[in-house]
Amino acid sequence: MNEMAKEELTLNQLAKEIYAGAGGMENVQSVVHCMTRVRMSVRDDAKVDQAKLKSIPGVLGVVDDEQLQVIIGPGKVNKVAKEMVDLAGVELGEELPHGTGKDLVNAKAAEMKAAQKAKQKKSPIKAVLKDISNIFVPMIPAFVGSGLIAGVAAIMANLITAGTLDAATWQQFVDVLNILKNGMFTYLVIYTGINSAQVFGANPTLGGVIGAVVMLTGMNPDAPIKNLFTGDALAAGQGGIIGVIFAVWLLSIIEKKLHQIIPDAIDIIITPMVSLLVVGLLEIFLIMPLAGFISNGMVGGINWVLSVGGAFSGFVLGALFLPMVMFGLHQILTPIHIQMIGETGMTLLLPILAMAGAGQVGAALALWIKLRKDKELTEMIKGALPVGILGIGEPLIYGVTLPLGRPFVTACVGGGIGGAVIGAIGGVGAIAIGPSGAALIPLIANGRWWGYVLGLLAAYAGGFVATYFFGIPKDKLAEQQLAETTVSAEPMVENKVAAHAIDVFTAVAQGDVHPLEDAADPVFAEKKMGEGYFVEPTSNEIFAPVAGKVSTIFPTKHAIGITTDSGLEVLLHMGINTVELEGQPFEILVTEGQHVTPETKVATADLAAIKAAGKGISMMVLVTNMNDVETYVLEKTGKVTATTEVFKAKTK
């Protein structure tokens, strides 16, 4: 098909053709774009027809790497991506509709599961976080519903304990609510086992059984199973949620291996029995005892922290409590609570530990404000926040902060800040062990509820501030900024190019200038993005390649768009595949709308970090609207200093 025919496709037609080549709209998970490419997450790679995509008029190339990437070129790519999401009725980055009757939480789970199965390069940490999200996001509706019931029951129970409500009248109401609540939280390990098995590809029912093992329901209390490390009796729940996930991961490996070696005739008998036996024994005699051993080892450390007292103790305990819960290590604190209540009539430890959940509330508020365009995330936060305020933290932890990684850490910092405030005030104790959050206020002893409330407010604020400034994942922030800039850029008028103007281009860094065909990336080498050159830099300082106005700075900092006074659209692309580095090696020194010259330092690039990440350091300079160029010439190659004239282009 000739170039004239290529130009005849409308944005709507181009968007539909891309969907068709990607296996249909139903096969596309989500759509975003970068400076030059429409990036799609797909549900089934096998349905993608790359040959068809490459043949579409207006498509400059196709890359199947972390995502399915269709190269359109700057200036047009945002319009094509916007047309694609408009056809689907969603926003950039949101999941496209798939099937019927799915609410936002289930849609999120499907997205995470598809991402887990996709053939993508990703770090082990990101892979673990994806798995955690896959496991827990489907539980969010049950978490929220049960959590609200648990919160109401907690308030009533604590008011009964405090003597505000009459037990004879209200206790049965509390018992009924607790029965409903326990249907979720008592058997959380079983649901975790089932969902973990679905994520890792094991039999879901076997996964549920593996989760149930940590409950030790068949153990004789008069002759308990001994901890191999300490000789003490095993306690139900040791190993926690993380132990269950690890055990089910082992189950998936063993089960898949057995399916390969066991004859089909006896596979249905031998494989589940051997899988359950091997993993169950490992869970009982290794995973749970190991967690118990760690728990016992932590007792001395916790007692020392408590002996130090004050703000230090409060911060350490408030910050570390949630990680302890995840590993099932929090049970070692129950005897300490009981001992404190027996000796002094109250536990000074519980109000401090309650700050951990408050930190999660503050972190969720920051995520809500900072990532307000992410409708799935904000909907989950809206449902989980009231539950978290009432002291039920699971929806926020497992559905929001932990799958995102960094916000979980900053939320723990917020919990530490709240704990430090309570520790500094001193004397803030609870008369009984009960749920935390706002529900614990009636149990605070000696009228010092005000100290507990100050701690809650400090934890909310600490979690909010730490997350707002340090805890937002860069990829999520990039999606947010991309959605905002794309929407604001849509009404802009096409740039007009002055006739017969000459633009002089310079080396953007000290190093070696090369013609574009020498580039390591075939997309650049085949000049699908436009004509130009690149510099292999020997200095971290990066300068503007031409005089003009900064039109675009991509959120991941790896690319800058400049429009010359004559109207040429120039792309400075720093490195090869550096979009995956999420901006870490780069510092941008200019702002959008700023006028620059070849003497303007626009960025610094940590070349060593880029190389260490396995990415190329080539600084690409491209004229992307070549249809407006009459002639061009690369005048100089080889070693140059920054700002040396190397390339000229004349407009038509």
Active site residues: 34
In one-letter notation, the amino acid at residue 11 is L
In one-letter notation, the amino acid at residue 157 is A
DSSP SS3 for 221 = coil
DSSP SS3 for 631 = strand
Q: What is the DSSP letter of 510?
A: S
- Render 22-41 in DSSP notation, one character per residue: TT-GGGEEEEEE-SSEEEEE
Beta bridge partners of 64: 68
Query: In sequence order, which ranges of 55-187 are alpha helices (DSSP H)?
Result: 77-88, 104-117, 124-136, 140-162, 167-185
Q: Which residues contact 21 (CB under 8 A, 6 or more apart)?
A: 48, 49, 50, 52, 53, 56, 70
Nearest in space to 405 (alpha carbons), one of 124, 117, 640, 161: 124
Q: What is the DSSP letter of 376?
A: H
- Render 531-554 in DSSP notation, one character per residue: EEEEEEESSSEEE-SSSEEEEEE-
Beta bridge partners of 249: none
Cβ contact 396:367 at 8 Å? no
**Cα distance between residue 75 and residue 85, in whole Å:** 17
**Cα distance between residue 48 and residue 30, in whole Å:** 14
CA distances (Å), origin 562, targets 37, 399, 490, 515, 648 = 18, 41, 18, 20, 15
Q: Which residues contact 410 (CB under 8 A, 6 or more apart)?
A: 363, 463, 466, 467, 470, 471
Beta bridge partners of 570: 562, 623
CA torsion angle 267 272 275 276 (round to 10) = -160
- β-pairing verdict for 61-64 and 37-42: unpaired
Cβ contact 451:419 at 8 Å? no
**Cα distance between residue 604 and residue 589, in whole Å:** 8
Which tokens is 4 given? 């004239």
**Cα distance between residue 530 and residue 621, in whole Å:** 9
Q: Which residues contact 309 (CB under 8 A, 6 or more apart)?
A: 423, 426
- Residue 599 burial (C-beta neighbours within 10 Å; 0-12, 13-18, 19+): exposed
**Cα distance between residue 652 and residue 638, in whole Å:** 29
Cβ contact 70:38 at 8 Å? yes
Nearest in space to 392 (alpha carbons), one of 420, 432, 434: 434
